[in-house]
């Protein structure tokens, strides 16, 4: 415990799944967390769970594609805690629509939620990290951002964009002691994948693709996020970290 003592973190998409696991673990390790999601009731419940366990959390409803919402979230963090040390861009959506069946509306939705949100988060948080002497950004991509998955063109494009945006950020802001790294989850059991995992054939297919013979859990990802957010990784920037049970090793 205490790996994030005195750190202030913003975590998006924290109402469930990987974002919630990040928030709970960060608070346990001493961080004060500003957690956001578009689902107000659920994000408030996560904040209560943290405070009931003795942690410090502020829950905000946020549309991560809204510049106004990012300005409000950033200002709230600064007003409440005086600084921002960590940004975890976790919010995102999946899309399994084949490329030729994707209309422009869906393409824009996937890109806005998965990529524009990361751009806006960094745009609003980085100036305050510079003023504060540094920080750590962890952007959640996917194994789809490393390989050309079948039937997921818009999603794959968005996650690939997150990977390279992260690298560009790492190069540009290392001189300000700001680190930026991406995490690439494999097949993880979360509310987003619940329906897919309920299908026995699909579940067995996911397992067949993963050398470690189990599906990932949100807590597996949170441990990687914690490492990259903490000072333990102070000489690590611009990397992509697969947490995928060995999928990308094949």
DSSP annotation string for 140-162: E--GGGTS--TT-HHHHHHHHHH
pLDDT at 14: 98
pLDDT band, residue 57 (cuts 50/70/90): very high
Query: Cα–Cα distance between 40 and 34 in angstroms, integer?
Result: 13
213-229 pLDDT per residue, tens = 999 999 999 999 999 99
pLDDT at 206: 82
**Percent of the chain clearing pLDDT 90 (strictly above):** 84
Q: Is 206 helix (H, G, I), strand (E, B) or coil?
A: helix
User: Does the pLDDT value for residue 151 go beyond 80?
Assistant: no
Q: Name the burial class of residue 68, with classes exposed (0-12), middle (13-18) and buried (19+) by CB atoms within 10 angstroms of its CB.
A: exposed
* Cα 165 to chain centroid, rounded: 14
Q: Annotated catalytic sites, by residue?
A: 155
Query: Cα–Cα distance between 163 and 230 in angstroms, integer?
Result: 20
Closest CA to 92 of 71, 72, 121: 121
Q: What is the pTM of this model?
A: 0.95
Cross-strand bridge partners of residue 137: 87, 180
Task: Report domain 8-249's class.
Answer: alpha beta
153-183 pLDDT per residue, tens = 899 999 999 999 999 999 999 999 999 999 9
């Amino acid at each position: 415990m205490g790996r994030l003592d005195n750190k202030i973190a913003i975590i998006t998409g924290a109402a469930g799944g990987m974002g919630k696991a990040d928030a709970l673990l960060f608070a346990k390790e001493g961080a004060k967390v500003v957690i956001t999601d578009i689902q107000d009731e659920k994000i408030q419940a996560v904040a209560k769970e943290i405070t009931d366990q003795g942690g410090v959390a502020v829950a905000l409803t946020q549309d991560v594609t809204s510049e106004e919402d990012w300005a409000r979230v950033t200002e709230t963090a600064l007003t409440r805690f005086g600084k921002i040390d960590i940004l975890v861009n976790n919010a995102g959506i999946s899309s399994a629509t084949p490329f030729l069946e994707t209309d422009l509306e869906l393409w824009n939705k996937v890109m806005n939620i998965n990529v524009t949100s990361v751009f806006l988060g960094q745009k609003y948080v980085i100036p305050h990290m510079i003023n504060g002497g540094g920080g750590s950004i962890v952007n959640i991509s996917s194994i789809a951002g490393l390989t050309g998955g079948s039937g997921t063109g818009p999603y794959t494009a968005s996650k690939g964009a997150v990977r390279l945006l992260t690298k560009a950020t790492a190069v540009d802001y290392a001189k300000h002691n700001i680190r930026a790294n991406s995490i690439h989850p494999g097949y993880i059991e979360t509310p987003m994948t619940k329906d897919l995992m309920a299908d026995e054939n699909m579940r067995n297919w996911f397992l067949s693709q993963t050398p470690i013979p189990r599906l990932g859990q949100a807590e597996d990802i949170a441990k990687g996020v914690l490492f990259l957010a903490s000072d333990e990784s102070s000489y690590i920037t611009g990397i992509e970290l697969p947490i995928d049970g060995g999928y990308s090793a094949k």
